[in-house]
Amino acid sequence: MKNYDFIVVGSGIAGLSFALRAAKLGKVAVITKKNASQTNTSWAQGGISCVKDPEDSFEQHVADTLDAGAGLCPREVVHTIVSEGPEVIDELISWGVEFDRKKNGDLELGREGGHGKRRILHHKDTTGREIQDKLEAEAREHKNIDFYEHHFAIDLLTTAKLGFATPPRCVGIYALDERTGDVETFRSDRVILCTGGSGRVYLYTTNPNIATGDGVAMAWRAGCEIANMEFVQFHPTCLYHHKEKSFLITEAMRGEGAELIDKDGRQFMKEYDRRGSLAPRDIVARAIDLEIKKTGGPCVYLDITHKPKKFVIDRFPNIYETCKRLDIDITKEPIPVVPAAHYQCGGVSTDVNGATTLPGLWAVGEVACTGLHGANRLASNSLLEGVVVSKRALENCISKMPLKIKPEKIELPEWESGEVTDVDELVVIYHNWDEIRRLMWDYVSIVRTGKRLQRAATRLHNLQREVQEFYWNFRVTSELLELRNLVEVATLIVDSATRRKESRGAHYTLDFPERNDARFQENTKLNRIIAR
C-alpha cells in the first residue's frame, strides 16, 4: 500500500497546478493512465480567459459567462472564479508559462465567441501544450511529487464499500499498472479527481483518446452526486477530413475575423444570431447542423482568406501546418468544418472549492460541475476554472483535513482478482465500444428527441449488463476499464437528457424546443442525479 498526503488523479492543468501547490505541504502522487503529457489540456488551442484589459471588467466577464450558460450559472460561483483569474495567471507565468505579448511587452489578448471583450491569453494556437509542458517540467523537478504514469485508476476506495463502521468518506484508490498488469493500492485522506471529460463517448469528437469519462464514472460508483450531464458542448468547427478526424479549428480564428460560409460563400450565421460567427457555441453548432441538413452537404466552411497571409501563419501556425499537410492552404481557401463533441459541462457535483458530496474527495476541472459553465460553456473559461478551483481545493483540503493531524491508520485490502481469465476476445470489447459511440452520436448529439433518447437508454442498459459480466469474469485491462466507464457515462448523459423537458444551452430537443423558465424556477438549478 502506497501512502501519500495527496493523491491527484490526472495530469492536466487542474491536476498539475494542484500538485505544485500541495507539494509545498506534503507528498503528492500524480496518477495518470497514459504519459503525463497526454491530457485534454495539451489539446487546448484557443487560450485561457482572464480580465487583463483596462477597458474590460470582472462584471462584463461574469455577464458574458451568465449569458452563454443560459440561466444555469450561479452568479456567486462565476464571480469568484472570474475575479481570482489574474492571480492564478501570474502564478502560471511564475511557473514558466509564456503567453504571446505585444511589442511593448503587454499581453496580447484574443477574442472568442460569446466574449464581449478581448480577454483570451494565448500562446499562438497551442496554448494548452505550452501550459502542459511548463507545468509538467516544473512538477517533475519537485522532490515531493511522484508520477505514476500508465496507471489506470479503477475505483475509489470508500469506508462504506470497505464495510467500515464510520461515516462514508474516500480513503484511497485502486490503480492498474498497465505495464505489469498488477493492481496497486494508494492510500490518502485527500483524493483529487482531475481526469478531464468524456468526449470519446461520441463517435466524432475533438478530444484525445484518453477522454473516456473515468472520473465521473468512478465518482458515481462511489456514491457521489452527479449534475448536468445532459449538457455536452459540441464545438462548431472540427476539421472535416478523412485523415484528421479529431483536429480542432480554434474558436480564436473566428475571434480574429474568420467567417462561417456555405459552399456558395454565403455567410449564414447572422440569420441565426446577431453576433454572427461569434455567437456562443451551442447556437453556432446547431446552426451548422441545420445548414448541413438543409443543403445535404457534408460540411460548411470557415473562411479567413481575407486576412493577410503573414498574420494567419504567425497567429495560427499549428492549424496552418496541419491543413497544409492535407493540401488545404487556409490563406487561399476556406477550411471544411463540422461540429464534434468537445466539452462536458456537467460532471461530479462540487462547490466552488472542488469539494464533492463524498468527504475526502475533491474534483477539479472538466470532470467536475461547479456550475460555472451552466448549460453551455463560454469559450476558454475551462482552463481558468481548472487553475482557480485547484487553488481553492487545496485550501479546502487543508482546512477539512489538516496535515498536522496524524492520519488515521487504515490498512486497505489488496486487490483480489478471484478466479478470472484473460479477455479471450477483444473484438467484443471493441464492438461494444463502437456501438456506444455510434448510438450516442445518432441519438444523443446536437438535436435530440424523446424517442431517440429512449432507444439509446434501452440499448445502453443492455450493454451495461454485458460489460458488467465482462468486468467480473475477466482480468482487468485498460480497454475493459474504459468500456466500463464509457457505458456508465453514456447512461448518465441519456438519463439526464431524458429528465430535462425543455431546450436550454447545449441540450436541444425537438419535443420541447423552447426554454421553459417557469418550470426552471420551480426546480433546483442543477439537474442532479443522486448516486445509487
Domain boundary among 342, 358, 381: 342
Res. 530: pLDDT tops 60: no
**Total tally of structural domains belonging to the chain:** 3
Is 170 in the same domain as 314?
A: no
E strand map for 159-221: 170-177, 183-187, 191-193
What whole-number distance in Å separates Cα of residue 373 and Cα of residue 369? 8
Average pLDDT over residues 187-200: 97
Q: How many residues does the chain have?
A: 532
Is 216 in the same domain as 92?
A: yes
For 428-440, write each residue's pLDDT tens digit: 888 999 999 999 9
Which of 184, 188, 234 has the alpha carbon at shortest distance from 207? 234
Whether 413 is covered by a domain: the verdict is: no
Is 195 in the same domain as 319?
A: no
Is 114 in the same domain as 45?
A: yes
For 137-178, write each residue's pLDDT tens digit: 999 999 999 999 999 999 999 999 888 878 899 999 999 999
Q: Name the strand (E) or helix (H) holding 311.
A: helix 309-315
Is 462 in the same domain as 371?
A: no
Is 157 in the same domain as 88?
A: yes
CATH classification of the domain holding 198: 3.50.50.60
Whether 65 is covered by a domain: the verdict is: yes
Q: 201: domain range?
A: 2-230+345-400
In the block, cell 501547490 appears at 21
Residue 464 has which C-alpha cell? 451495461
Question: What's the confidence (pLDDT) of residue 422?
Answer: 72
Q: What are phi and psi of 154, to 5 degrees?
A: -90, -55
Q: Which of 187, 200, 281, 504 is catalytic?
A: 281
Whether 514 is covered by a domain: the verdict is: yes
Question: What's the confidence (pLDDT) of residue 427?
Answer: 81
Asked if 281 is an active-site residue, the reply is yes
Res. 523: pLDDT tops 70: no
Q: What are phi and psi of 290, to 5 degrees?
A: -70, -40
Is 375 in the same domain as 491?
A: no
Q: If DSSP codes are grouped into helix, strand and coil, which group holds residue 178?
A: coil
